[in-house]
Amino acid sequence: MTYPTRQAPRAADVRALGRSLSECRACPRLVDWREETARVKRPAFRDWDYWARPVPGFGPADARMLLVGLAPAAHGGNRTGRMFTGDRAGDVLVAALHDLGLASQPTSTHSGDGLQLYGVRFTSPVHCAPPANKPTPAERDTCRPWLVRELELLRPTLRTVVALGAFGWQAVLPVLGEGGWSLPRPRPAFAHGARLELPPTRRGGAPLAVHGCYHVTQRNTFTGRLTPAMLRDVLRTAALEAGLPARTAP
């Protein structure tokens, strides 16, 4: 039995889940990479003491909306210890959430910077930075118990999921199928602006809406494939559907 399979179901809340997850060394290739990156560093970050461990989800334990990315960036979350922090993807995402009134500040620079998310949580299907941002299917599957448990813990309040990119979409759908919601067959392909409504399979459960959004990678945002307006549109739609008071962006 792997460490995630053994430990994730035991976490009583998302804080305990994060503590347990941050000790994980189940994927040898990713452990090597996250630690090697921290040794070599980027010149701009040479004074940083990199986190170099798995990066837990971030946001309130009673979030109504969950944003699911891919994995931490080698010099972003792997450096700061907080998801979507210290890199261009985090800048774009947090600025959009702040525009909508869902984040306390427009920037996300380091773990003690005071950022709070309102009703929104970040997570990822793979919690360690992978080489070339490409985890293997085996690494995704090894990491899956952490996401399964996080979704179980969030289920009482969770109403929408925004999958950032095809990897997040493909990784989160089967987990939702296990976690108490019914998936359509065949499983719909990822598209920006795609929306699914998943009925609950358990008595007393609530439906869950899943939205597809291009990932906030530098490549997507620099090329204009994903503009700030496109991102805000998806986030605002998903937030309103979750019952969060997203305002119209300025």
Contacts of 208 (CB under 8 A, 6+ apart): 158, 159, 160, 161, 176, 181, 197, 198, 200
> Is residue 8 within the footprint of ligand SF4 (CB under 6 A)?
no
Instruction: Select from 126, 153, 210, 234 the one that contacts ligand SF4 (CB under 6 A).
Output: 126
- 213 — phi, psi (to 5°)? -145, 135
Under rule CB under 6 A, residue 171 binds ligand SF4: no
CB of 39 to ligand SF4, least distance (A): 18
244 binds ligand SF4 (CB under 6 A): no
DSSP state of 232: H
54 contributes a contact to ligand SF4 by CB under 6 A? yes
Residue among 146, 151, 144, 145 at smallest CA distance from 202: 151
Angle CA(11)–CA(174)–CA(230) in degrees, nearest 5?
100
CB of 126 to ligand SF4, least distance (A): 5
Distance, C-alpha 31 to centroid of its chain: 19
Q: In what order do the strands lie in the sheet with 65-68?
A: 120-123, 65-68, 160-164, 208-213, 195-198
19 is a contact residue toward ligand SF4 (CB under 6 A)? no
25 near ligand SF4, rule: CB under 6 A: yes
Q: Does 211 bind ligand SF4 (CB under 6 A)?
A: no
Query: Of the listed pieces 56-64, 122-130, 201-209, 220-228, which binds ligand SF4 according to CB under 6 A?
Result: 122-130
Is there binding between residue 4 and ligand SF4 (CB under 6 A)? yes
Work out whether 83 is an interface residue with ligand SF4 (CB under 6 A): no
> Is residue 215 a contact partner of residue 70, using CB atoms and an 8 Å limit?
yes
Nearer to ligand SF4, 83 or 97 (CB): 83
Q: How many helices (H) and strands (E) does the chain have?
A: 9, 5
Q: How far apart are CA 191 and CA 194, in angstroms?
A: 5
The angle formed by the CA atoms of residues 36, 37 and 43, to the nearest 5 degrees, is 130
Residues near ligand SF4 (CB under 6 A), total: 15
- 30 sits near ligand SF4 (criterion: CB under 6 A): yes
In the shown chain, the binding pattern of residues 133 to 162 toward ligand SF4, with x for contact by CB under 6 A and - for none, equals ------x--xx-------------------
* Binding region for ligand SF4 (CB under 6 A) out of 21-29, 100-108, 114-122, 147-155: 21-29
Q: Which residues bind ligand SF4 (CB under 6 A)?
A: 4, 21, 24-27, 30-31, 54, 126-128, 139, 142-143
